[in-house]
Amino acid sequence: MERLHGRHALITGASRGIGAAIAERVAAEGADVVITARTVDHHDHLAGSLTETLARCRRHGTTVTAVAADLADPASRARIVPEALAALGGRIDILVNNAAAAIYASVLDYPPSRAHLMFEVNVHAPLELAQAVVPGMLEQGEGWIVNVSSATARPAPGPPFRTSGVTTKIGVYGATKAALNRVSNALAVELHSRGVRVNTVEPRAAVLSEGADALVGGTLRDDQIESMEAMVEATLALCDCPPDRTGGVHVSLDLLDELGITVMSLDGRSAHPSGQRGA
């Protein structure tokens, strides 16, 4: 416990799902945290809010502050790092870019406005937030940037191609995540040997957050789902990794197996019932 004591973290997309769970675990590990998302009190269709995440995180006794912002709006997202720095005493050690827009539809008639929205949220926003925190991290001599990606970034194998389920609907979303992987790697290359680690992490299987459940819930077998705790544990490992672990595109359960890490509960106090793999 408290492996992040004294560190300051900024986590996006923290009103629900993976972002909210990461925020809780980071707070449980002793970090002061700024969380950001659009939903302050309630969402019209999905459970979860910044207010609820604040309550969960504050139970662990660290300083937790919320910044309401819309990552699709360049002016709105430009406020996030300055406000986070003000709340965290002028220092950000950890940035987790978790927020994402996931709009599934055929590439053949994908609306340009939706494609632009997804690239704003999934690529431009993480890059701009990283650019904003890097100068401080370089001055401190260390920092950790973790970008949450997706297996949809990889091209579909074939032919023949699988066309069942959402396979034909995830092309544009996957393209944004492929761009995020490449940008993350480029940041890592430029920052190598300067103390700032940059990695992406993606679930091996589906993590049924509120948003994912709304998109694909009920269509997956048990072996196609991994626990929220496993995804959070893998992300946490990259929030505290050594300098030579940078530039990677990591898969959650593979990383846990490689490092021999036991998946813990979100409060960090006990092992998750499904053990090391957390599936």
- Residue 173 catalytic? yes
Chain centre to alpha carbon of residue 16: 11
Three-state DSSP state, 37 = strand
Q: Six-digit token pair at 41?
A: 């009190």
* Burial environment of residue 180 by CB neighbours within 10 A (0 to 12, 13 to 18, 19 or more): buried
Which one from 99, 173, 211, 263 is the annotated catalytic residue? 173
Helix-strand-coil percent breakdown of the chain, rounded to 5? Answer: 45, 15, 40
Secondary structure, 3-state, 84-144:
HHHHCCCCCCEEEECCCCCCCCCHHHCCHHHHHHHHHHHHHHHHHHHHHHHHHHHHHCCEE
SS3 category, 11: strand
Q: Compute the distance between CA of residue 85 and CA of residue 132 in angstroms, rounded to an integer.
A: 10
Q: Which residues are catalytic?
A: 173
